[in-house]
Amino acid sequence: MNALAPIAVPTPLARLLADVADAARVPLAARDRAMAAALAPYLGDPGLLEGRDCPCNPDRYTRHLLHNDPASGYAVVAIVWAPGQMSPVHGHRTWCAFGVQRGWLTETFFRPDGDIALPTTCLARRPGDVCHAPADPRAIHRLANLGTQEAVSVHVYGVAFDRFGDGVNHVWAA
């Protein structure tokens, strides 16, 4: 009698990345929405980042690369936020989608006013919440961890990881 080979069960992260790869083939005008829909079923699963080392940096919020696809032009990162850490006030040079994995974040929206950005709205983002936006440097927001526990979010941006330095955030003065 032959022994049966064990069946490899895809991890939640592998399934998320497969769904993200499918979303990367959606026409550009709808890709950010498709990416948010791809993330949503997995966020909040405590096993999503199991085996991935995503340490918190006490000095600043930290991106950890989960998947880079230069050929298709996107990358997936987990961002770890210590209490009190926040992004700059920024718009995006590329489409983006993100959602909260653990903890909660505050998303503040701004409107351009000359050379600066003024806050308009503030929303709480909880585990499982997803958001998305097309490339638009004048669609401005800031993410912040105003809670007392570490927070983790998962983001997909429409550039390869080596272009994150100048290809993602357009930073505004607020």
* Binding positions for Fe cation: 90, 92, 141
Contact criterion met (CB below 8 Å) for 43 and 31: no
Known binding positions:
90, 92, 141
Q: Running DSSP on this structure, what letter comes out for residue 68?
A: E
What is the DSSP secondary-structure string of 95-145? -EEEEEEES-EEEEEEEEETTEEEEEEEEEE-BT-EEEE-SEEEEEEEEE-
